[in-house]
Amino acid sequence: MVEAMIGNTVPPRCLVLGGRGFVGSHLVDGLLAAGYRVRSFGRLHTGHHEPRPGLEYFDGNFENLDDVRSALKGCDICYHLISTTLPKSSNGDPCYDIESNLIGTVRLLDCAVSQGVKKIIFTSSGGTVYGNPRYTPIPESHPTDPICSYGITKLAVEKYLEMFRTLHGLEYQVLRLANPYGERQLTRGSQGVVAIFLGKIIRGESVEIWGDGSSIRDYLHISDVTRALIRCIEPGRPVERVLNIGSGVGVTVNELLDSIEAVTGRTAERKYLAARAFDVPSNVLDISAARRSLEWTPLVSFTDGIARFSSWLKDNPQAL
């Protein structure tokens, strides 16, 4: 069991797939600070790459089975943070979404079993696996009817994780994340509305809003995401294998822009466009199970999180 290994004098080695990305780089920092040995897996010359004691980098491609197999060797725990698609792009080529993410993950699980990995922690999507919610806040028991390929693939991975646990004893934890945001997130990327809007407003660019700005989302600061991910491998936690990780508080797009304006002292130039078919009107997660199972609760309010992110961008203007 992972609990037994954590009690040993030699700390477990954790593989972080996607360790140079936004969430992954923060997780790597958190694991190192907690005393774990860490192997960060990602493409060469991408993302954050800072040599530190206890950290090794593995250059590879998730779609290359040999790379994945080699990276898993000698690891006790595997964090799977990689996705090759985005919610808004996945419907354009669902076959690629299935081939790269679902089939790629099943191959990962096969390799994990053969390499003796004890536990997989998978970041699923609290924003897409439920589809159009029948009620909010959304508990883990809510029906799952995704309306984008991204969400369907995430849900399918969750089912395969349970299959591998039943057949092979491979333990797992699924965290259905809300919308993470914060320091190191790309302001010119294609995902992460907080980062994109904050960057545009600071640069004096107009902001495009799909719909009338009344759609509601659950946003979570990256420090709270990291704490939840690390709690999953601490000893003595109750076994609730699928958990929502969010703030539990809904924020409309218009409120998001209001908050950015208040923090930055700048006025957003808002351009409202037609709503998109795959965007659900409201998504707020019930995080009661995570409070109970992980003894975790978010600590950073939305306003404080925006202020932290904005301050970091001032200190790191190259990120704009």
The angle at the Cα of 166, spanning 131 to 297, to the nearest 5 degrees, equals 50
Sign, Cα dihedral of 185, 190, 193, 196: positive
Q: Give the number of residues written for the chain.
A: 320
Residue 211 to residue 189: CA distance in whole angstroms: 20
Residue 214 to residue 204: CA distance in whole angstroms: 23
Structural contact between residues 228 and 175, judged by C-beta atoms closer than 8 angstroms:
yes
Whose tokens are 């908050």? That residue is: 259
* AA identity, residue 153: T
Give me the catalytic one of 57, 150, 181, 219.
150
Strand intervals (E) in the chain: 13-17, 37-42, 55-59, 77-80, 119-125, 171-177, 179-181, 206-210, 216-221, 242-245, 250-252, 269-273
Structural contact between residues 178 and 245, judged by C-beta atoms closer than 8 angstroms:
yes
| Residue whose C-alpha is closest to residue 313's, from 151, 194, 158, 143 | 194
| Residue whose C-alpha is closest to residue 205's, from 213, 217, 197 | 197
Sign, Cα dihedral of 294, 295, 301, 305: negative
36 noted as active-site residue: no
Helix or strand run (H / E) with residue 254: helix 253-264
The C-alpha torsion from 21 through 24 and 29 to 33, rounded to 10°, is -170
What is the end-to-end Cα distance of the chain in Å, rounded? Answer: 44
Question: Which amino acids are annotated catalytic?
Answer: 150
